[in-house]
């Protein structure tokens, strides 16, 4: 008989995944870079030596930039994610009383600190949570999800995001989003340097080496990163759905909310921030991708099916 995972199991698992991800990303990138360098320079030992020297010279500054950017983005990564989404802090006034009451109710039920509440001006239906820990967490909701969901459905969505906060998914999200942001930034810099013409043979070979490193970063972003995101995100969504069901004691409300969200989830401001997709309750870029291998989320039908099964269990307990 399978043993049911507890919240503490999910927290420990996410802490381990965060550590492994931080270690695996540079290692995988180095392996890809080395493989490409061998392919490009295998028939030219002289140029290989020039490329190797360039790799040593470029490698240290690039690693330094990545480290500094990684540290900065880790500590302000939540602000970056909210900025990508164009989210604004919601005033705690009469106009937003409904939202704050819902977030407060769920926070109390979940036994977690009250997160900051942000709004994204978009008629679509989506949401995400961010922060390093429950004490620094924020929940961002589109104005569309607030306006179009019933109160119990909205609470269920907030409970799903509180599930991510409680399970420490939010820290893992930040490592993925900011880490891949570093790769994209460095790739662009290296492409520009590598694509310029060299004045000598040695300089030309060195620029080819720089260009190859940029290609390695591009391959990492386009092929390796989606696999990492998919492997991590799918189980987290099921866990957050289950956590939301236990917090609200109303799995049917989240199932109903997911049906509505799946019909209009695209958040236009995130079209240029594809790494943000896995942080949202539903893919905000192109819902049609949900049917394909690269999906950041489990199929909506599977999530609803599991929630309906949980609803049956709650009715039996009642």
Dihedral, 36, 41, 42, 44 alpha carbons, nearest 10:
180
In angstroms, the CA 22 to CA 27 distance is 9
At residue 88 the predicted structure's pLDDT band, cuts being 50, 70 and 90, is very high
Please report whether residue 232 resides in a domain: yes
Looking at the chain, the whole-number percentage of residues with pLDDT higher than 70 is 73
Please report whether residue 156 resides in a domain: no
At residue 292 the predicted structure's pLDDT band, cuts being 50, 70 and 90, is very low
Domain count along the chain: 1
Please report whether residue 220 resides in a domain: yes
Task: Between 199 and 147, name the one with better pLDDT.
Answer: 147
**In the block, which residue shows the tokens 């599977």?**
302
In angstroms, the CA 80 to CA 267 distance is 17
In angstroms, the CA 100 to CA 123 distance is 19
In angstroms, the CA 61 to CA 189 distance is 12
- Residues serving a catalytic function are 161
Please report whether residue 295 resides in a domain: yes
Q: What is the pLDDT of residue 140?
A: 97
In angstroms, the CA 210 to CA 235 distance is 37
Please report whether residue 288 resides in a domain: yes
pTM over 0.75: yes
Please report whether residue 1 resides in a domain: no
Q: What is the pLDDT of residue 97?
A: 93
Q: What is the pLDDT of residue 13?
A: 67
Q: What is the pLDDT of residue 293?
A: 45
| Whether the predicted pLDDT of 20 surpasses 90 | no
| The two structure tokens encoding residue 170 | 């939010």
97 CB contacts (<8 Å, ≥6 apart)? Answer: none
Q: Give the residue-averaged pLDDT of 292-314.
A: 78
Q: What is the pLDDT of residue 264?
A: 93
In angstroms, the CA 38 to CA 50 distance is 13
Question: What are the strands of the beta sheet with 116-120, ordered from one edge?
Answer: 88-89, 116-120, 138-142, 127-130
Nearest to 226 by CA among 287, 175, 296: 296
Please report whether residue 206 resides in a domain: yes
Dihedral, 12, 13, 16, 22 alpha carbons, nearest 10:
-130
Paired strand residues for 89: 118
| Whether the predicted pLDDT of 59 surpasses 70 | no
Provide the domain limits for residue 212. Answer: 7-85+171-317
Paired strand residues for 128: 140, 280
**Least trusted range by pLDDT, from 67-76, 87-96, 286-295:** 286-295
**In the block, which residue shows the tokens 């942080």?**
279
At residue 85 the predicted structure's pLDDT band, cuts being 50, 70 and 90, is very high
In angstroms, the CA 59 to CA 49 distance is 15
Does an H or E element contain 138, and which?
A: strand 138-142
Instruction: State the helix-helix crossing angle for 7-41 and 169-195, rounded to 10 degrees.
Output: 10
Task: Between 122 and 213, name the one with better pLDDT.
Answer: 122
pLDDT digits (tens, 9 = 90+) for 65-80: 666 766 776 788 889 8
What is the DSSP code (8-state) at residue 279? G
On average, the pLDDT of the chain sits at 80
pLDDT digits (tens, 9 = 90+) for 99-123: 999 999 999 999 999 999 999 999 9
Q: What is the pLDDT of residue 28?
A: 79
Segment of 58-67, 76-85, 221-230 carrying the highest mean pLDDT: 76-85
In angstroms, the CA 152 to CA 163 distance is 16
Please report whether residue 114 resides in a domain: no
| Whether the predicted pLDDT of 180 surpasses 80 | no
Task: Between 9 and 302, name the one with better pLDDT.
Answer: 302
């Amino acid at each position: 008989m399978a043993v049911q995972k507890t919240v503490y199991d999910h927290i420990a698992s996410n802490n381990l995944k965060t550590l492994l991800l931080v270690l695996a990303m540079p290692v995988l990138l180095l392996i890809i870079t080395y493989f490409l360098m061998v392919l490009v320079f295998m028939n030219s030992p002289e140029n290989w030596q020039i490329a190797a020297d360039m790799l040593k010279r470029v490698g240290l500054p690039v690693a330094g930039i990545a480290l500094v950017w990684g540290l900065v983005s880790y500590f302000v990564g939540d602000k970056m994610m909210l900025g990508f989404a164009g989210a604004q802090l919601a005033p705690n006034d009469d106009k937003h009383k409904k939202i704050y009451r819902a977030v407060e109710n769920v926070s109390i039920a979940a036994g977690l600190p009250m997160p900051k509440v942000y709004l994204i001006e978009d008629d679509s239906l989506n949401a995400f949570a961010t922060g390093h820990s429950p004490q620094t967490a924020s929940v961002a909701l589109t104005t569309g999800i607030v306006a179009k969901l019933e109160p119990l459905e909205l609470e269920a969505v907030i409970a799903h995001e509180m599930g991510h906060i409680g399970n420490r998914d939010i820290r893992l999200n930040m490592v993925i989003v900011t880490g891949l942001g570093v790769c994209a930034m460095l790739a662009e810099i290296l492409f520009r340097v590598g694509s310029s013409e060299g004045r000598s043979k040695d300089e030309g070979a060195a620029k080819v080496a720089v260009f190859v490193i940029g290609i390695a970063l591009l391959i990492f972003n386009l092929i390796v990163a989606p696999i990492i995101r998919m492997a991590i995100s799918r189980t987290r969504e099921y866990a957050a759905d289950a956590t939301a069901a236990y917090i609200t004691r109303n799995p049917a409300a989240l199932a109903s909310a997911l049906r509505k969200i799946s019909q209009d989830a695209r958040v236009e401001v995130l079209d240029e921030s594809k790494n943000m997709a896995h942080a949202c309750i539903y893919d905000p870029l192109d819902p049609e991708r949900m049917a394909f291998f690269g999906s950041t989320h489990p199929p909506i039908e599977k999530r609803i099916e599991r929630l309906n099964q949980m609803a049956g269990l709650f009715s039996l307990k009642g």
